[in-house]
């Protein structure tokens, strides 16, 4: 098995294109997922969409640069993940999106978290939260409909072994070269996903965590079997496992957790989705198998 894993890793690495050449083509990668989301003690069927695309942020504000007059030195080239989750609870629905911005300049393997944000809407109200990574600490801003949360600001340390659970969805894809070797594990100081704080109504804090990259194996899901590596995260009494495709661009094929949540890749397309906003473009949703 080890020899097979080494062979697959070597062939995958040899085939990996230059990051900037692949991701700088003006298109977004859009992947749809069939999702089971636990909520209120029951498993809820739903769907998810992960959109990966590169864009510039302003170095000082971490806001997207849209004007041509901003100097290059004031820009940070990032890979953005918009992670969409939709599901129903009885009569009413949840609409959740987490956004992660990761700087991709620097060493081949490096991704550096810049910003995370969360929006969550359901029929009771809505929540917006933003976390910025600045100078070795996290600056958090929460604006919530709910009285016990209200408006808050918080600050947390981000030591050298810090990682964000939301950001791991970028890291484990290893889009600029291997981060961990198969079988390697790493101890982390982890900021759990902003969505997990939202569900549990917990005070924001980091927790110790253990991340393990598995050996190359076969993953079956979405009607196909593909070579993949598993990534297992243990934190706060919860275990989550993600399967990442061995072949570039190392898509996230699926996940499951010890609380009953899971997801399975349906379809991936690469398109400039912001241009597909006419009624005639609704067929793309059918192609992605989402409502």
Reduce the secondary structure of 87-152 to three states and give it as a string: EEECCEEEEEEEEEEEECCCCCCCCEEEEEEEEEEECCEEEEEEEEEECCEEEEEEEECCCCCCEE
Angle (CA) 87 167 102, round 5°: 120
CA distance 232 to 217: 14
pLDDT recorded at residue 201: 86
8 Å CB contact between 262 and 237 = no
CA 197 to chain centre: 16
Question: Residue 85 and residue 120: Cα distance in Å, rounded?
Answer: 9
Give the CB-side neighbour count of residue 123, counting CA atoms within 13 A. Answer: 7
pLDDT of residue 7: 43
| Amino acid 107: pLDDT | 66
pTM over 0.85: yes
Note whether 208 and 187 are within 8 A (CB): yes
Give residue 113's pLDDT.
96
Are 83 and 97 spatial neighbours (Cβ–Cβ below 8 Å)? yes
* Length of the chain (residues): 291
**Which positions of the chain have pLDDT values less than 50?**
1-5, 7-13
pLDDT above 90 coverage of the chain, percent? 86
Do 33 and 46 form a contact (C-beta atoms < 8 A)?
Answer: no
Q: Are 286 and 269 in contact (CB under 8 A)?
A: no
Phi (first) and psi of residue 2, to 5 degrees: -60, -40
What totals of helices (H) and strands (E) does the chain contain, helices first? 5, 15
Do residues 50 and 169 lie in contact, with contact meaning Cβ atoms separated by under 8 Å? yes
In the chain, where the domains are located: 2-288
């Amino acid at each position: 098995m080890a020899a097979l894993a080494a062979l697959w890793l070597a062939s995958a690495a040899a085939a990996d294109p230059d990051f900037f050449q692949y991701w700088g083509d003006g298109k977004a990668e859009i992947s749809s997922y069939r999702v089971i989301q636990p909520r209120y003690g029951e498993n809820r069927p739903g769907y998810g969409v992960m959109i990966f695309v590169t864009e510039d942020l302003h170095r000082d504000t971490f806001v997207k640069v849209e004007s041509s007059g901003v100097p290059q030195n004031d820009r940070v080239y990032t890979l953005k993940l918009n992670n969409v989750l939709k599901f129903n609870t009885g009569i009413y629905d949840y609409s959740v999106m987490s956004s992660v911005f990761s700087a991709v300049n620097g060493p081949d393997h490096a991704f550096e978290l810049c910003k995370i944000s969360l929006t969550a809407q359901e029929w009771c109200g809505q929540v917006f939260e933003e976390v910025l990574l600045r100078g070795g600490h996290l600056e958090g801003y929460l604006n919530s409909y709910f009285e016990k949360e209200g408006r808050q600001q918080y600050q947390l340390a981000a030591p050298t072994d810090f990682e964000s659970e939301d950001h791991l969805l970028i890291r484990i894809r290893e889009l600029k070269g291997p981060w961990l070797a198969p079988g390697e594990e790493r101890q982390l100081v982890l900021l759990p996903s902003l969505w997990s704080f939202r569900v549990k109504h917990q005070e924001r804090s980091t927790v110790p965590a253990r991340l393990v990259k598995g050996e190359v194996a076969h993953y079956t899901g979405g009607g196909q079997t593909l070579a993949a590596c598993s990534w297992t995260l243990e934190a706060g009494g919860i275990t989550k496992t993600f399967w990442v495709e061995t072949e570039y661009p190392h898509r996230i094929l699926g996940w499951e957790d010890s609380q009953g949540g899971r997801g399975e890749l349906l379809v991936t397309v690469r398109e400039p989705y912001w241009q597909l906003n006419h009624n005639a473009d609704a067929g793309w949703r059918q192609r992605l198998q989402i409502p």
